[in-house]
Amino acid sequence: MNLSNVRVPEWFIQGNKRKLYKYSIHHSYVAGLALPPLAAGKILKKSLSLNNGYVNSTDQELFLNNFLDKKLKLLLNRREINQIIELSKREKYVILPGNVFLKNRRIKVEIHLCKYNKNSDKEKQKYRRSKEKRKACNEDFS
């Protein structure tokens, strides 16, 4: 079997599901990481966590903090960086990292522009999901 034409799939490395539960996601972006030499090994071994990570903007650049010992620069188009910074300032969005994954042997991070959920919003969301599940189950058995 010739494997030269096989496309490399995206491999999931780490997620930030626990932190993103508290927020409602409005916009998502995929960014590359400018990594120091030994950081890729730590990320691939899954020895790091995104739970305390956040994205900070300084001088028209975005950095991922509390993920490694150093700040990691996020690699995005200039237009996307300007759009993220503008939305975060104007609409008061919080910028959080989502999943870390491999795409074509490069480490990528999902960046989410979020707003904090109130407890009432969380309850409404749970109710809506359970209602959809019940509806799907009733359709399956009909």
Predicted confidence (pLDDT) per residue in 89-130, tens digit: 999 999 999 888 888 888 899 999 998 887 767 777 788 888
pTM for this one?
A: 0.73
Six token digits for residue 42: 């730590």
More confident residue, 77 or 18: 77
pLDDT at 142: 56
Q: Could you give the C-alpha distances from 76 to 29, 51, 111, 118, 130, in angstroms and in order? A: 9, 22, 11, 31, 37
Per-chain mean pLDDT for the chain: 82
Q: Can you list the domains of the chain with their CATH numbers?
A: 11-117 (2.40.280.10)
